[in-house]
Structure 1
Amino acid sequence: MSTQISDEVAFSDLLRRQREVAYKAARGKGVLLRRRDAEDLFLTSAARMETAEEGFSVVTKIFASLMKEDDGARTLLLAMPEVFPWVRYLSAEEVREFLVEITQTVRACDELGNLTPVATVVKAWRSTAEAYADPELRDALTERDVDDAGPVSPDGDL
């Protein structure tokens, strides 16, 4: 699904011009409703949303099917640096782990109808790659002789 949105309007415009904004949402790619004091909202038709969900489900099934075959899994593994350029800072084994985790997560998200965990997995692996890209930080994180600072209390004090 393209991230381009055909129209952006202030939330107050929706309240003042409901019919016009609803028409734009139903006829275009959707309308981004900008709000001053809260997270923006996206308005689209139910049919467009159902189509997007169906498309995600189909792609998920293809992706999962490819992972079941050695050649398919190898192809996906080779595509990882193209899709996620930062994986070059991960080891080959970590890239495989990321591929397996993202595949399992995408399948679960398809079943739940909730894509939030996909973003969480990608952010976590990207953060790992960022840490590995900084040699000093990587050394600090992978150092084996780290002293235990002791228990941490619920309020965060040592």
Structure 2
Amino acid sequence: MQVIERTLSEFLRHPKEIVAELDNSDVVLRRRSAPALHLCRADREDARSEAFSGITRLLRHLSLHHPAAVGTSLREAYPWTEYLPDEELAQFVEEFARELAAAASVGEFKPVAQFLHEWKATAEVYTDPELLRILSGPIEITHGGRVPRPPG
């Protein structure tokens, strides 16, 4: 699928031309100081959503019945998983499949991006022995005194 990039200003000046481009491609509208907008036909988006849901169900099934194979595949897709110990990788595989299934069921994928960000941070901790030692040890909880009321 081809993706055409236009500016929001172009869309506002020539909406019919840009809507006509949606017959054969998606359109990304770039905006100044704001995230881009993605325009696509609803039938294409429905097809993508259905395909993604099927892939998610397949991955969930594979992670339950063949976790080692899924783990190997995820190591290729996300090279930073190489730093995860085997037990952490197994947990990542199982949680990743569940996270994708949950996201697909509600059509919201920001939690998947956050999930991957957090696991990558975990892998980064395993690359630094001193940080790993600090974060793996007990956390000393101290209680300070009473917090004074702010003036005003």
Q: TM-score range by the shorter chain?
A: 0.7 to 0.9
One of 123, 129, 137 as aligned partner of 1:129 = 123
The residue number in structure 2 matching 1:14 is 11
The residue number in structure 2 matching 1:73 is 67
Q: How does 1:29-40 map to 2 (within 5 A)?
A: 30-40=26-36
Structure 1 residues without counterparts, runs of 5 or longer: none
TM-score by length of 2: 0.86
Moved over 4 A (4+): none
Identity, % of aligned pairs?
30
The residue number in structure 1 matching 2:143 is 150
Distance in 1, matches of 2:132 and 2:11, equals 49
- Does residue 63 of structure 1 match 2:56? no
Q: SS at the partner of 1:8?
A: strand
Structure whose CA Rg is larger:
2
Say if 1:149 and 1:23 are closer, same or farther in 2 by CA, change over 3 A. Answer: farther
User: Residue 74 of structure 1: CA displacement?
Assistant: 2.1
The residue number in structure 2 matching 1:51 is 47
Across the aligned residues of Structure 1 and Structure 2, the Cα RMSD in angstroms comes to 2.1
Distance in 1, matches of 2:44 and 2:143, equals 53
User: Residue 53 of structure 1: CA displacement?
Assistant: 0.2
TM-score by length of 1: 0.83
- Does residue 89 of structure 1 match 2:86? no
Distance in 2, matches of 1:78 and 1:6, equals 32
Structure 2 residues without counterparts, runs of 5 or longer: 148-152
Q: SS at the partner of 2:35?
A: coil
Q: SS at the partner of 2:34?
A: coil
Aligned length: 146
Which of the pair is proportionally richer in strand?
Answer: 2
